[in-house]
Structure 1
């Protein structure tokens, strides 16, 4: 079971990184570089929590320390996109970088993140285009779609492992605790 990281306090900073599985092949004797695109692109999510008093930071410190040996679930926040009023959808069909959904796409926007839940595992994706009930997504689907999978738009989450095998907690002069961590998508 994955460890849930609590919602971040206001003033925290996040950054999201897409790690490509593509490989560039450069010929030794000149010629054009070729990029071989492969499946398996994954997200990394870096979080720097604003300084908090020790009592406020305990749930975060505990979850992060537990997450050193288990999967973690972390909410994904993207500036400029309000999640208020967002509704989850279900997939009717999909392959590659497109999915056909049931439910409304009226309040969805390009650049918005969602979690695709398949067999109890969350896969983070980004909306790249919207045409009626068909959404373009990035990265490509990582699992076969059978229909009925849930797309979590209201509360997208990344599921993965904390980067590294240690976690440091910084305690300031006035007892404020500073935390930062990175989650790498597991699948």
Structure 2
């Protein structure tokens, strides 16, 4: 796994939710059904500010090229959401599955907002999730059950740490990585990261 440097800073990021659900239409009419399948995941299209190639650009480009064969990890931006402590959140019990995640180690009485993203690292791979149903108030004992999207893609062990400063991890998409060589010493980068699972 490769960490992308913070420089050059991101100018624009366009997150996307990728669903593997399919619609099933009855042959003789009637109500359509949506068949939900496992494997939904996130992707993000990124454009950075121009950066001086000799100072930071070479390193960034090197990591993007490597990211076509190895996964890269990058901070997942949440504009206007200030970083803060959520305690020491962990998965509360083994056997979690589906879209319900029991969590302990949170700050008692805290509120986790609907739409908040977080990451969970399982087997060295970071998975991105979103609190999806409603604001959740943490109990006096520091526990809460989060309804999340997408559904859990790996079964986490009890005690698996959650990171509320979210990251996205995946491969750089496409079969080539190009950049513009001009008289300017500065160049921006454009790329897409898609979670591998």
* Change in CA separation of 1:104 and 1:27 when aligned onto 2, cut-off 3 Å: same
Q: Runs of 5+ in structure 2 lacking a partner?
A: 139-143
User: Which digits, 9 at most, give the CA deviation of each residue in 1:26-70, with x for residues without a partner?
Assistant: 234433222111111011111100112212322211110111111
Judging by fraction of residues, say which structure has more strand.
1
**Separation in 2 of the partners of 1:126 and 1:65?**
29
Task: Name the stretch that deviates more: 174-183 or 92-101.
Answer: 92-101
1:158 aligns with 2:160: no
Deviation at 1:96, TM superposition (A): 1.4
> How many residues are treated as equivalent by the alignment?
185
What is the TM-score with the length of structure 1 in the denominator? Answer: 0.88
**Among 154, 160, 163, which residue is 1:143 paired with?**
154
1:108 aligns with 2:112: yes
Unaligned runs of 5+ in 1: none
TM-score, scaled relative to structure 2: 0.84
Aligned to 1:32: 31
CA contact (8 A) 1:88 1:153 kept: no
Distance 2:147 2:182 in 1: 45
1:117·1:151 contact (CA, 8 Å) conserved in 2? yes
Equivalents in 2 of 1:95, 1:23: separation in Å? 21
Q: Which residue number corresponds to residue 51 of structure 1?
A: 50
- Does the Cα contact within 8 Å between 2:111 and 2:137 map onto a contact in 1? no
Matched with 1:124 is: 128
Kindly indicate whether residue 91 of structure 2 is the aligned counterpart of residue 81 of structure 1: no
What per-residue deviation string (whole Å, max 9, x for no partner) do you get for residues 122-162 of structure 1? 111011232422212111111123311111113x2112111
- For the residue of structure 2 that corresponds to 1:103, the secondary structure is strand
